[in-house]
Chains A and B, each alone.
Chain A
């Protein structure tokens, strides 16, 4: 599936690893249960490791493993289920996770700004999605009325300037 980062399609070095598959040497995304139960995964040297966080688990379950993780994937079973926003923001704010957070599942371009402002950096798009629609959505508003996990300059009052996709990889902080 095409991967969107900063409004552009980028190549995806990550593969999803089945729970019973042997460990590869390339970057792989494992399930939460495998991460928790398979010590070999956690201790494999030089392996770039990611985890798929189930939608019904709080981000805090990853706290013991974050040093080992280069990616967390949050899932949107439907675009109406907003738990992934909270998971991503908790990872950034509570747990100070600074590597890639990827959104998977059913997401609309109209949600792109929300995703980025909650700390998500890459989007796994459905095949055939038009990145221009996402770019357009991210450029729609020039400011927002509330703080987010991004370091956004204060415009005035509660307003923050946002120019997400144009600005390259969002600043995290």
Chain B
């Protein structure tokens, strides 16, 4: 009711031409399905085409991955996702580390209908899979965070549009991932993407970008190299074209596992790669690819603005509620983030309830969140790359009422960034690639550490779980990473310690031999006991780990086994 009546808040409002484009795309896919069924397309030919529409064949059924550009949804869009979960799936959806949503029980013949339903609300599954430029991810507090310097979503949208059905880069050696942030505190893991961009303000209100390239996780984790300290806004697309063109021309295509940009950067070396990019950039006709301020402003104008007009006593009202209700106070302390506007606050709705499946939300929850977003947050919802949901613009004096509504929905667990805020891939319960089931071990850890006081005592700590070496659960970048491996047909788990996805990016180190599930959970308990016993006051886990060393931890936790 507070949102701008014509434009969605925080995301790009589609114009009729954009909707026509989505309908054309849905019709194209319908035609491709028909050609597959008639035999005009072989399965080999059809596969990349369906993947570029987000449709995977998994262990038990088709999975449809729907794009949520830069993780922002309108209430109407979230309601549509709830409807799809209810009608075409089993009543739930799974939010992913790339801010998308996956439906796990899809029938191929219904996929065109789902795409048509999505197109009605300006959504699609374009380029959520395949060897092309994937969903552009961004900061879940974009446009709201107190520490933000530039709202990155306008440029995320520009990159989304530019990369949509790109004529040159739709058949790359491998998938290609962008992340963009506008805050000095990196909440997007910019250094772990093929291209990571940090938007910064320059002189006279100009915008520019710090550019990282060649980062990634997967089998060969790599931290991106910095190509530019400052790339002016008008050269953004030309420079991205240059990086992609070097990759498309020289990236390896002979080995699936050596085809990502990071491998090319490592093979050529930092300087030679940067030289190739700069040479390509020099040769590109700059005028043709110029991103002029008129284009930026035209796209910015399609973003609705949140209603921000809190009464002066809003912070006092929040303080009063916090003093009176310790449970509320704890939740605010853990699950909120400072807002740029006086009297406002952002809150994380945890999709990691005790013993739950990380990132899953039911249709009932999605509908309820859509209602709450309209009532409390200008009708806008964000998906985080840690698989939670965010309401970005909540009035501080209304936060208590919101919290009371979230509790019965199972969405008020006060565990953001704590040990049970686990990131987890779908694993062998769904995925054909997995070696082990990620979800059950995640549930065991969640149960083991369910005591919220213990979680608070441990403090911020990331656990990420991947069911195989492809690392969809980003285990390399976690304080405690868990990797599922297959040992003679049995599911084992290898632990890594000391990873980090933020500004001081680091890749976790293997702790010791892989263990069966129950032993792995016990070893994690001992890692935590060791940390609690040996840390100095206010020392983060990764700092204690660095200070004491890998050998110390290994001996401490394996010796006791």
- Interface set of A (CB-CB < 8 Å, partner B): 58, 79-83, 85-87, 89-90, 93-94, 108, 110-111, 113-115, 117-118, 133, 136, 140-148, 155-159
Q: Which residues of B contact A114 (CB under 8 A)?
A: 165, 167-168, 170
Closest 3 CB pairs of A and B: A82-B171, A117-B167, A114-B167
Which residues on the B side are within 8 Å of A117 (C-beta)? 167
Chain A contacts of B171 at CB under 8 A?
A: 79-82, 85, 111
Residues of chain B in range 153-198 having any CB-CB distance to chain A below 8 Å: 158, 161-172
B408 within 8 A of A: no
Residue contact A94 to B283, C-beta cutoff 8 Å? yes
Asked if B552 is at the interface of the complex by the 8 Å CB criterion, the answer is no
Residue among B131, B167, B248, B295 with most chain A CB within 10 A:
B167
Whole-angstrom distance between the Cβ of A149 and the nearest chain B Cβ: 8
A110 nearest CB across to chain B (Å): 6
B560 at the interface (CB under 8 A from A): no
* Chain B residues, Cβ within 8 Å of A115: 167
Separation of A110 and B249 alpha carbons in the complex (Å) = 21
Say yes or no: A158 contacts B170, CB within 8 Å.
Answer: no
Decide if A85 touches B28 in the complex (CB within 8 Å). no
Query: Contact: A86 with B248, CB < 8 Å?
Result: yes
Count how many chain B residues have C-beta atoms less than 8 Å from C-beta atoms of the other chain. Answer: 41
What chain A residues lie within 8 Å of B245 (beta carbons)? 86, 89-90
- Which chain B positions have C-beta within 8 A of A140? 24, 27-28
Separation of A115 and B165 alpha carbons in the complex (Å) = 12
Q: Which residue of A lies closest to B162 (CB)?
A: A146
Pull 30 A–B residue pairs with CB atoms less than 8 Å apart, ordered by A.
A79-B45, A79-B48, A79-B171, A80-B48, A80-B131, A82-B131, A82-B168, A82-B170, A85-B169, A85-B171, A85-B248, A86-B168, A90-B245, A108-B45, A110-B49, A111-B171, A114-B167, A114-B168, A114-B170, A133-B40, A140-B24, A141-B21, A141-B25, A141-B165, A142-B20, A144-B167, A146-B162, A146-B164, A146-B167, A157-B298
Query: Chain B nearest CB: distance from A117 CB in Å?
Result: 4
Chain A residues positioned under 8 Å from B172 (CB to CB):
82
> Residues of A contacting B62 with CB < 8 Å?
none
**Inter-subunit contact B168/A113 (CB<8 Å):** no
A58–B31 alpha-carbon span in the complex (Å): 35
Contact B17 A159 (CB under 8 A): yes
Least distance between A154 CB and chain B CB atoms (Å): 9
Q: How far is the CA of A157 from the CA of B291 in the complex (A)?
A: 10
Q: How far is the CB of A58 from chain B (nearest CB, A)?
A: 6
A119–B188 Cα distance when bound, in Å, is: 36
- Chain B residues near A145 (CB, 8 Å)? 161-162, 164-165
Chain A residues positioned under 8 Å from B20 (CB to CB): 142
Tell me if B488 is interfacial: C-beta within 8 Å of chain A: no
Would A58 and B299 count as touching, CB distance under 8 A?
no
Is B249 within 8 A of A86, CB to CB?
A: yes
Indicate if the CB atoms of B168 and A89 lie closer than 8 Å.
Answer: yes
Contacting residues of chain B (6-45) with chain A, CB-CB under 8 angstroms: 17, 20-21, 24-25, 27-28, 31-32, 40-41, 45
Q: Is the CB of B21 within 8 A of A143?
A: yes
CA–CA, A25 and B285, complex, Å: 38
Q: B49 and A158: CB pair below 8 A?
A: no
Known: A58-B249, A140-B24, A156-B298. A147 touches B289 (CB 8 A): yes
Chain B, 344-370, contact with A by CB distance < 8 Å: what is the 0/1 string?
000000000000000000000000000
Residue of A with least CB distance to B289: A147
Q: How far is the CA of A82 from the CA of B40 in the complex (A)?
A: 22
Q: Are B295 and A148 in contact (CB under 8 A)?
A: no
For the complex, is B253 an interface residue (Cβ under 8 Å from A)?
yes
A118 to B161, CA, bound (A): 18
Are B285's CB and A93's CB within 8 A?
A: yes
A157 and B248 contacting across the interface, CB-CB below 8 Å: no
B284 CB-CB contact with A under 8 Å: yes
Q: Is the CB of B164 within 8 A of A85?
A: no
Contact A141 B167, beta carbon cutoff 8 Å: no
Give the distance in Å from the alpha carbon of A85 to the alpha carbon of B24 in the complex: 23
Interface contact A85-B168, CB-CB below 8 Å: yes
Inter-chain CA distance A143–B161, complex, in Å, is 12
- State in angstroms the CA–CA spacing of A90 and B168 once bound together: 11
Query: Complex formed: what's the CA distance from A155 to B15 in Å?
Result: 13
A155 B17 Cβ-Cβ under 8 A: yes
Q: Which residue of B lies closest to A157 (CB)?
A: B298
Contact A158 B249 (CB under 8 A): no
Q: How far is the CB of B399 from chain A (nearest CB, A)?
A: 37
